[in-house]
């Protein structure tokens, strides 16, 4: 696969995932939405591994990667689905825009990653300034919204830690195998949560809800996780996290156009700052490549 095309596919999937998360839970509860998504994704992933003759890996390094990725998916997605009940879907991607900073700091500690230079730090500061501008109008949030923001911050931290630790394990697994293995760990955990806290199945599942669950299972889980682990295997963890500086803009647009979520001037200014920070970060990376 082409790494640039994988990046593009991942951006599209991650940009549409927040809105799909909201729709997949409407009328059925967030636990049913996420459990059915992960269960379907796990089954489809394992079937593809078998049909394509790739074969799962069961050595110690592979099992460690499955466990790390699966726990990361469980913690991050559970927090995200819960938060989606209380905050606009565009905010989900916006808060995930913090992940490059957290990931970069964790990569320095765990991967002996390069310490951010002046240009990279400036890009990060611009990205954070953009997020601050976008959140400037949300200071008067109610208690539930504040809890949703806190849950998303927890999700970002879990996601970043899982990303860096999977990179540290260096299992060198095929992307589809890695994504299927992580879903094999995560799906039973979500099923357990549903059995404990929402054991009654919904009587009716609407067409949009069913479509959102299917989209998240096939694209958000199987294809999305496969692209993610493919990209993660080929580039540094901090570069993968930079995708989350693009997806907020697209997610905000999707929420505004498809779900009538507010999109004010503060959001536009913040988006410009985020894209400027990303451009500065990428210019640094290109110059570094050219020197080599």
* pLDDT tens string 123-146: 778 877 877 776 666 555 666 777
Flag whether pLDDT at 38 surpasses 90. Answer: yes
Whether 16 and 254 have beta carbons less than 8 Å apart is answered as yes
Helix (H, G, I), strand (E, B) or coil at 62: helix
Quick one: pLDDT at residue 142?
A: 66
Mean pLDDT across the chain: 83
- Residues 69, 70, 71, CA angle at the centre, nearest 5°? 95
CA–CA dist 265, 41 (Å, integer): 38
Out of 36-50, 159-173, 214-228, 231-245, least confident range: 231-245
* Alpha helices (H) along the chain: 3-25, 30-51, 60-83, 89-96, 99-110, 118-135, 143-169, 175-197, 207-215, 224-234, 237-241, 247-259, 265-291
Q: Where are the domains of the chain?
A: 3-117+140-236
Q: Reduced to 3 states, what is the DSSP secondary structure of residue 170?
A: coil
| Rg of the chain in Å (alpha carbons) | 19
SS3 state at 173: coil
Q: Would you place residue 18 in the very low, low, confident or very high pLDDT band (cuts 50, 70, 90)?
A: very high
Residue 284 confidence class, pLDDT cut points 50, 70, 90: very low
Q: At residue 273, does pLDDT exceed 70?
A: yes
The model's confidence at residue 291, banded by pLDDT at 50, 70 and 90, is very low
**Local confidence band at 113 (pLDDT 50, 70, 90 cut-offs):** low
Dist. CA 237–CA 109, nearest whole Å: 12
C-alpha–C-alpha distance, residues 249 and 128, integer Å:
14
């Amino acid at each position: 696969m082409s790494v640039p095309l994988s990046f593009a596919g991942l951006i599209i999937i991650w940009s549409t995932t927040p809105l799909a998360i909201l729709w997949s839970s409407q009328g059925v509860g967030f636990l049913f939405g996420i459990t059915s998504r992960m269960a379907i994704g796990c089954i489809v992933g394992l079937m593809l591994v078998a049909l394509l003759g790739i074969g799962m890996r069961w050595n110690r390094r592979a099992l460690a990667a499955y466990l790390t990725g699966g726990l990361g998916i469980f913690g991050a997605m559970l927090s995200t689905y819960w938060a989606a009940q209380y905050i606009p879907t565009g905010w989900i991607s916006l808060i995930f825009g913090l992940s490059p900073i957290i990931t970069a700091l964790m990569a320095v500690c765990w991967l002996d990653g390069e310490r951010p230079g002046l240009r990279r730090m400036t890009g990060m500061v611009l990205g954070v300034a953009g997020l601050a501008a976008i959140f400037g109008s949300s200071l008067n949030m109610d208690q539930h919204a504040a809890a949703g923001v806190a849950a998303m911050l927890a999700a970002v931290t879990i996601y970043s830690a899982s990303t860096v630790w999977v990179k540290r394990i260096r299992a060198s697994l095929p992307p589809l195998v890695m994504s299927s293995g992580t879903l094999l760990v995560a799906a039973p955990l979500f099923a357990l949560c549903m059995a404990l806290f929402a054991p009654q199945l919904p009587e009716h599942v609407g067409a949009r809800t069913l479509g959102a669950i299917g989209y998240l299972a096939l694209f958000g889980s199987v294809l999305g996780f496969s692209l993610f682990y493919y990209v993660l295997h080929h580039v540094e963890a901090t570069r993968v996290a930079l995708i989350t500086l693009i997806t907020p803009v697209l997610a905000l647009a999707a929420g505004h156009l498809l779900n009538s979520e507010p999109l004010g001037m503060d959001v536009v200014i913040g988006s410009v700052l985020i894209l400027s920070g990303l451009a500065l970060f990428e210019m640094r990376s290109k110059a570094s490549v050219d020197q080599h």
